[in-house]
Amino acid sequence: MEKHVVKMRDEDNVAIALHDIAKGTRIEGGITVNDNIPQAHKVALVDVPKGGSIFRYGVVLGYAKEDIHPGDWINEDSLILPKSPELHELEYGTNVDAKLPEPTRTTFMGYDVPGSEYAGTRNILGIHTTVQCVVGILNVAVEQMKKELLPKYPHVDDIVVISHGYGCGVAIDAREAYIPIREIRNITKNPNFGGQLMVVGLGCEKLTPDRIMDPEDINDDNFLSFQDHHGFKAIMAALFEMAEKKLKVLDQRRRTELPLSKLSVGFQCGGSDAFSGVTANPAAGYASDMLVSAGGTTMFSEVTEVRDGVPFIANRVLDKPNCDKLAKEMSWYDDYLKDGGVDRSANPTPGNRAGGLSTIVEKSMGSIAKSGTAPISQVVSAGEIPTKHGLIFDATPAGDFTCGPMQLASGMGLEVFVTGRGTPYNLEAAPVIKVCSRTDLKEMWQDLIDINAGTIATGEKTIAEVGREIFEKIVAVASGEKPVAEDLGLFNDIVIFNPAPMT
């Protein structure tokens, strides 16, 4: 008999469709479906009365709005969202003894950075901005630099502008302004920039260099203000002069064999579907466990997308101070959403719902899977640099374009990005490995996806097999191999999370 559905846990009373299922089809368990069930959507396996619980991943996704019968299609219109888990008195340290998989290797070829906990996976000249006003000229300058300067320094991978919309027209001393300022400041320290600092400002913005640079670094070698120069040609000349000094230093760097304890990898998902928590996220979690077992650092994030699974996260936190910080970060975001007049039901997205994710609870349980099973050694605020190795929860927003830069600020050298619906998202400052949850997405986007985890759903491969494939890809990319998006030159803008008021 053809396999039609996949069920996650014995206690689940729904399964998800492996492909579109026509009304009247007889599926596993002798159930006849009562509706046309789209791929990745849920089908009821038992009778559920009005108000009864719908279980997937062994947790309650929601409560039935009406009576549900075996074979019924269950989607976002079928369910009432349960309450969020409470944040007070979370239990910690009750699930920290998982046996992690053995890594197949313990070293990579990276760029060591003196004084940094982490090594670079790329050798990039990062040009950081204090305000959007400078970006027009800076983009013209960098385009010319790549043609005229970069070929002279073959051991430098790229020149990247870290531009953003922050810096002017902002309440620079507002209560929450420390968040974007910390993020910009810590991005300058990312190991992919090799310890070389080049900051460009206009001269009249509120984000003055002392807010994002250490006092000893604020000098003519590292900071350039456009308003100190006489016109476009003078500005261009000054940019070229400063950039060439940095390029000369970066060009002396070489890849060396380093322990994986010097590597920091971010894990993120976007365009998720109901398969993400079945295939790609668990496989990414297996790879994360292998990295942690090898002494590496991995980060998972996206507060709203793990909020409903916070008890499962807390159980893996090693100590009370970090558990308290987890609760504090979740509470901050609850208040932030409330102040904005929304709640967690604003997530999932329309695309997530089309991909079978009915509630944020379902999305959360799938999202958490990419963290693997390792204990959580530290909880850090958004954009904060960890002080410990191992698995880190980095409390960022869930949006792809804000989460990625926050992980850059926390020191990641590369990112693993899991997608179910498909996205060409990529970062210019760090390579991104794209993992898809469905084989048909890989077939459709053959040249945009690096690894297909859909083979797990069809039984061709196991979670462990795809997890090892992701791990090997991480080591290869950290050592210089280009994932497809980097090779194609597909890069998104940097978006700085700013919850403070604009003025």
Q: Given this model, what pLDDT does residue 431 score?
A: 98
Contact 337, 344 (CB under 8 A): yes
CATH number attached to the domain at 5-80? 2.30.130.110
> Domain spans of the chain?
5-80, 111-250, 259-488
Residue type, 295: G
Contact 379, 301 (CB under 8 A): no
Q: From CA 105, how far away is CA 471, in angstroms rounded? A: 9
Of all residues in the chain, what percent carry a pLDDT higher than 90?
94
Segment 410-421 mean pLDDT: 97
| pLDDT attached to residue 346 | 80
Residue 41's alpha-carbon distances to 275, 369, 502, in angstroms, are 9, 19, 41
Helix (H, G, I), strand (E, B) or coil at 341: coil
Percent residues over pLDDT 70 in the chain: 100
Instruction: Sheet with 124-129: list strands edge to edge.
Output: 158-162, 124-129, 198-201, 223-225
Pairs from 87-90 (Cβ < 8 Å, separation ≥ 24): 87/310, 87/327, 87/330, 87/331, 87/334, 88/327, 90/310, 90/311, 90/314, 90/323, 90/326, 90/327
Q: Please write the tens of the pLDDT for every residue from 44-88.
A: 999 999 999 999 999 999 999 999 999 999 999 999 999 999 999
| 451-499 per-position pLDDT tens digit | 999 999 989 999 999 999 999 999 999 999 999 999 999 999 999 999 9
For 422-447, write each residue's pLDDT tens digit.
999 999 999 999 999 999 999 999 99
Cα–Cα nearest to 408, from 244, 185, 81, 167: 185
- Which residue would you say has higher pLDDT here, 187 or 359? 187
If one counts every other C-beta atom within 10 angstroms of the C-beta of residue 171, the result is: 14
Q: Return the sign of the alpha-carbon dihedral for residues 360, 362, 365, 367.
A: negative
Q: Which residue has the higher pLDDT, 292 or 493?
A: 292
| 46: exposed, middle or buried (Cβ count in 10 Å: 0-12, 13-18, 19+) | middle
User: Is the model's pLDDT at 98 over the cut of 80?
Assistant: yes
C-alpha angle with apex 36: 34 to 40, nearest 5 degrees? 110
Q: What is the DSSP letter of 380?
A: E
194-208, 349-363, 366-380, 430-444: lowest mean pLDDT where?
Answer: 349-363
The predicted structure's pLDDT at residue 1: 59
Rounded average pLDDT over 294-315: 96
Please give the Cα distance from 400 to 99 (Å, whole number).
31
Rounded to two decimals, what is the model's pTM? 0.95
Q: Determine the pLDDT at residue 59.
A: 94
Nearest to 137 by CA among 224, 11, 13, 77: 224
pLDDT at 156 over 90: yes
| 111-250 maps to CATH 3.40.140.10 | no
Separation of alpha carbons 324 and 90, rounded Å = 8
Report the distance separating Cα 301 and Cα 309, nearest Å: 12
Strands 59-64 and 79-80: antiparallel
